Copies of this chain bind each other. A is one copy, B any other.
Amino acid sequence: MDKLAEPSAETPKPAGIAEAVKRLLGMRETGLIAIILVLFVVMSFASPYFLTWVNMRAMAMAFAVEGIVVVGMTILLISGGIDLSVGSVTALAMVIAGLLFLAGVDPWTASAVSILACTGIGAVMGFFVTRIGLHHFIVSLAVMVIARGACLLGTGGRPLGLYTLPPEFKFIGQGAIGVIPVVIVIFLVVVVAFDFMLRRTTLFRKVFYTGSNEKAAAYSGIRTKKVVFLTTTLCSALCGVAGVIYMARFGSAQPTFGIGMELNVIAAAVIGGASLKGGSGTIFGAILGAILLSVVSSSLALLDVSVYWQDIIRGSILLTAVTVDHFINKKRQQAA
């Protein structure tokens, strides 16, 4: 007690399996992993189709692109912000890229411009939050409405058919490398990259400082406004990326895409341990949260549960899962 010691779980030492298990048990995400595993075991008994490659692929495809948005949202939440506009901005990304493509721009350029435009939207939100001093909630709510309006205006409310997208471009959304769909590869790259950066780089460390105690961060010489500006912009930029991938995947741009997505995405991050007050959260956890939500939805569909029961069961599983996770986590912290 009197000496300054490092905790055991930090510096990786070649200490064998016991050590590895102990470290795993010490992680914030352990509870969530356990819950998902239980769900997998139950489901593979409940349905012979569950543990098939095709089903796994379908489930993964269902959350992979949204998972990219979850990454952006998690980082934003850690910095103390929130973004309700993710659904509309993702749709707007599809619409902008789609309109440019239909106007004759090649799809790669169109995508780049679209992602840039979304980044710009994020920058505008960042401006209102950091310079004017408004709350993220209200700014992103306004932008959510405006971006949806822009989608409708740009398309006249009708989906854009982009059947003529070249196959190299569609490959992003529909192709596969070996048996692994490209979408999932991109998703994994984004997740691994940002997970690493968030845990290890000085830049993203400042995101934690800012979200944990903005004033203390400012008193540590961190330009907290820049940090928040950055995370706000990044989240929209990742919506842009997601939108472009969706376009390649669906071969169309839908002005009504992503309605209600924000709650799903925020829920995933929060289930995964991100705090709505800022200062804590992990990409890994948030993705597990997204997986949990997605697996529950997919399982109910697979089991042919009556639609009238599905929402009730889904909500109850969500509540049970966060409760169980909460207790596991409490136990873990007491043990530490």
Residue A326 lies at the interface, judged by CB distance under 8 Å to chain B? yes
Interface size of A by CB at 8 A reads 46
Residue A230 lies at the interface, judged by CB distance under 8 Å to chain B? no
With A152-B307, A307-B152 as known contacts, state yes or no: A315 contacts B138, CB within 8 Å: no
User: Is the Cβ of B141 less than 8 Å from the Cβ of A267?
Assistant: yes
CB contacts (< 8 Å) of A133 on chain B: these are 326
CB contacts (< 8 Å) of A135 on chain B: these are 270, 276
CB contacts (< 8 Å) of A153 on chain B: these are 308-309, 312
Kindly provide the distance from the CB of A151 to the nearest chain B CB, expressed in whole angstroms: 9
Kindly provide the distance from the CB of A60 to the nearest chain B CB, expressed in whole angstroms: 23
Kindly provide the distance from the CB of A140 to the nearest chain B CB, expressed in whole angstroms: 10
Cα of A290 to Cα of B194 in the assembled complex, Å? 39
Cα of A266 to Cα of B276 in the assembled complex, Å? 16
User: Is the Cβ of B141 less than 8 Å from the Cβ of A326?
Assistant: no
User: Is the Cβ of B271 less than 8 Å from the Cβ of A316?
Assistant: no
Residue A263 lies at the interface, judged by CB distance under 8 Å to chain B? yes
Cα of A147 to Cα of B315 in the assembled complex, Å? 9
User: Is the Cβ of A157 less than 8 Å from the Cβ of B323?
Assistant: no
CB contacts (< 8 Å) of A322 on chain B: these are 134, 138-139, 142
Cα of A125 to Cα of B322 in the assembled complex, Å? 13
User: Is the Cβ of A146 less than 8 Å from the Cβ of B84?
Assistant: no
User: Is the Cβ of B156 less than 8 Å from the Cβ of A308?
Assistant: yes
Residue A314 lies at the interface, judged by CB distance under 8 Å to chain B? yes
Residue A310 lies at the interface, judged by CB distance under 8 Å to chain B? yes
User: Is the Cβ of B149 less than 8 Å from the Cβ of A323?
Assistant: no
**Residues of A294-316 whose CB lies within 8 A of B:** 307-316
Cα of A323 to Cα of B132 in the assembled complex, Å? 7
Determine how many copies of this chain the complex contains: 2
Residue A9 lies at the interface, judged by CB distance under 8 Å to chain B? no
Kindly provide the distance from the CB of A183 to the nearest chain B CB, expressed in whole angstroms: 26
Kindly provide the distance from the CB of A144 to the nearest chain B CB, expressed in whole angstroms: 7
Cα of A313 to Cα of B152 in the assembled complex, Å? 13
User: Is the Cβ of B145 less than 8 Å from the Cβ of A315?
Assistant: yes
Residue A150 lies at the interface, judged by CB distance under 8 Å to chain B? yes
With A128-B319, A128-B323 as known contacts, state yes or no: A311 contacts B137, CB within 8 Å: no
Kindly provide the distance from the CB of A3 to the nearest chain B CB, expressed in whole angstroms: 29
Residue A148 lies at the interface, judged by CB distance under 8 Å to chain B? yes
Cα of A271 to Cα of B139 in the assembled complex, Å? 11
User: Is the Cβ of A84 less than 8 Å from the Cβ of B263?
Assistant: yes
With A315-B143, A315-B146 as known contacts, state yes or no: A138 contacts B267, CB within 8 Å: yes
Write 21 A-B pairs (CB below 8 A) sorted by A numbering.
Answer: A128-B323, A132-B323, A134-B322, A134-B323, A135-B270, A135-B276, A137-B266, A138-B267, A138-B270, A138-B318, A138-B322, A141-B267, A141-B318, A142-B316, A142-B322, A143-B319, A145-B314, A146-B315, A149-B310, A149-B311, A149-B313
Beyond known contacts A128-B323, A147-B315: 6 more, CB 8 A cutoff: A138-B322, A142-B319, A143-B319, A144-B315, A149-B308, A152-B307
